[in-house]
Amino acid sequence: MSGLDRLCIHTITNKPWTFEELLDQYASAGVGGVSIWQNAIEDMGANKAATLLEDYSIQVVSYVRGGFFPGSSEQARSKAIDHNKKMIDEAAAVGAPILVLVCGAEPTQNLVHSRNQIKEGLEAILPHATEAGVKLAIEPLHPMYADTRSAINTMEQANDMAEVFDSEYVGVAVDVYHLWWDPHLEAEIKRCGAKGNLLAYHICDWKYPTEDMLNDRGLMGEGCIPIAEISRWVKEAGFNGFEEVEIFSTKYWSMDQNEFLNKIISSYKELIKT
């Protein structure tokens, strides 16, 4: 054991690498899991990606991402449903047990309306997901993204949505970057675990100052998120899956990716020591 058996890295984190490069590097570093972003395998396709994966002992943790259900026209919403079904099929093809959902928001309508459309979207794709054996993980996003990326912005909203379905195929992905500020986080994580809805756990850090709202995430320990404390809540809620490092960073994408991977691993080891 490398001590990294519960470490998973999202392919977007090492965006400059090809999928093959990622797998080679993660495997030789002893990283236990990978979460695959669609763009990483778009050119080769899910079936070729699945064939490649057979040569590695790395576990596919999740496929990223579906969602974006709200839309101002019926046509836009039904296109989103078709797209989500395709993402479910691709997740199944690469052996991902979970499809992460960035649920979407339509800025020309209010958030309640968008949340209703998210519920309708989930209803429409759930039979497909169940049949494919792929769980849908609702990822609440920080409210700074409530304009276009997600009308689900707190764990409470994500829990409410997941509980409507009461299905083992609908749950929640907890991402510290989006949720660390929430005074109800501990209680809502506990609620999520108690309902059996805690499907995934994403980590990185919130740098201060943050220079870019999307692409300036930090390495664990580099910012102000109490990650060790949140990790404890997640464990206490019964979650024993992977800790998934998901860092979008123009700064880190511009550096040598092997050097960056070393930084990820050392900051992860530092985190799990605490």
For Zn ion, the binding residues in 63-102 under the rule CB under 5 A are none
Task: Output 6 or 77, the one with its CB closest to Zn ion.
Answer: 6
Closest approach, Cβ 21 to Zn ion, in A, equals 22
CA distances from 86 to 70, 82, 129, 166, 173 (A): 17, 6, 10, 23, 20
Task: Output 135 or 202, the one with its CB closest to Zn ion.
Answer: 202
Task: Output 22 or 64, the one with its CB closest to Zn ion.
Answer: 64
What distance in Å separates the CA atoms of residue 97 and residue 120, rounded to the nearest whole number? 22
Contact string (CB under 5 A) for Zn ion, positions 241-260, x = contact: -----x--------------
Residue 253 dihedral angles phi and psi, to the nearest 5°: -70, -25
Closest approach, Cβ 28 to Zn ion, in A, equals 25
What distance in Å separates the CA atoms of residue 216 and residue 48, rounded to the nearest whole number? 32
Closest approach, Cβ 218 to Zn ion, in A, equals 14
Closest approach, Cβ 92 to Zn ion, in A, equals 21
Which residue in this structure is represented by tokens 């984190």?
13
Number of residues that bind Zn ion (CB under 5 A): 3
For Zn ion, the binding residues in 201-230 under the rule CB under 5 A are 202
Tell me how crowded residue 250 is: count the other CB atoms within 10 A of its CB.
13
DSSP H helical ranges for the chain? 19-29, 38-41, 46-53, 74-93, 111-132, 155-165, 176-179, 185-194, 227-236, 250-253, 257-273
CA neighbor of 204 nearest in space, from 259, 263, 265, 246 = 246
106 binds Zn ion (CB under 5 A): no
| Residue selected from 67, 90, 136, 175 as contacting Zn ion according to rule CB under 5 A | 175
CB 122 within 8 A of CB 136: yes
Closest approach, Cβ 48 to Zn ion, in A, equals 26
For Zn ion, the binding residues in 108-137 under the rule CB under 5 A are none
Task: Output 13 or 114, the one with its CB closest to Zn ion.
Answer: 13
Residues within the interface to Zn ion (CB under 5 A): 175, 202, 246
